[in-house]
Amino acid sequence: MKINKVAFGNAEEAFVEDRLCSGFNIIFSDDNNKGKTIVMQSALYAIGNEPIFPFPFDYKEYYHYVEIELDDKKIINVCRKGESFIVKTEKGINILDSVSELKRFLTRSGLVFPNIKKDDSVRIVDPELLYQVFFVGQDKKDSANIFNPGYYKKEDFWNLVYALAGVDNSSIDDIEKDEIKNKIALLKDEKKVLLEQNKILKKSTPSLELISQKYGNDAFEAKVKKVESIRNNIIDIKKRQNRALQRKTINEKTLSEIRALNRTPSTGDLYCLDCDSKRIGYSSGDKSYSFDISDTEMRRNILEAIEDKISAYQEEIDACTLQINTLQRQLQELFKDEEVELESVLLYKNEIIEAKDADTRIVQIDQEIKKLNANQKVEKKKTIDYSEKKEEIKRSIIETMNQFYKSIDSTGSLVFDDLFSKRSSVYSGCEATEFYLSKLYALAKVLGHKYPIMMDYFRDGELSTEKEEIVIREFSKLSNQIIFTATLKEQELGKYSKYSQINCIDYSINTASHIMKASFVIKLRKMLSPLMIKI
In the chain, domain spans? 1-112+481-535, 174-353
CA pair distance 125, 48, nearest whole angstrom:
12
- Residues 6 or more apart whose CB falls under 8 angstroms from that of 42 comprise 6, 7, 8, 53, 59, 64, 66
Beta strands in 82-186 (DSSP E): 84-89, 92-96, 115-118, 121-124, 135-136
* Beta-bridge partner residues of 7: 16, 65
330 vs 119, 178, 321, CA distance in Å?
Answer: 16, 11, 14
Q: Supply angle C-alpha 126, 230, 175, rounded to 5.
A: 95
CA distance 70 to 186: 54
Specify the pTM: 0.72
Rounded CA separation 74/7 (Å): 19
Weakly modelled stretches of the chain, pLDDT under 70: 120, 168-179, 194-224, 260-298, 334-359, 376-384
Amino acid in position 134: F
N- to C-terminal Cα distance for the chain?
28
pLDDT given at position 229: 79
Residue 199 pLDDT: 45
* Beta-carbon contacts of residue 146 (< 8 Å; ≥ 6 apart): 129, 132, 152, 153, 154, 156, 157, 420
Look up the CATH number of domain 1-112+481-535. 3.40.50
In degrees to the nearest 10, what's the CA dihedral of 260, 264, 268, 270?
40
Grouping H, G, I as helix, E, B as strand and the rest as coil, residue 6 is strand
Residue ranges of alpha helices (H) inside 46-96 are none
CB atoms within 10 A of CB 29: 21
- Looking at residue 241, its pLDDT comes to 86
Q: What are the pLDDT digits (tens) for 63-106?
A: 999 999 998 899 999 999 998 999 999 988 888 888 988 998 99
User: How many whole angstroms separate alpha carbon 531 and alpha carbon 533?
Assistant: 5
pLDDT at residue number 22:
94
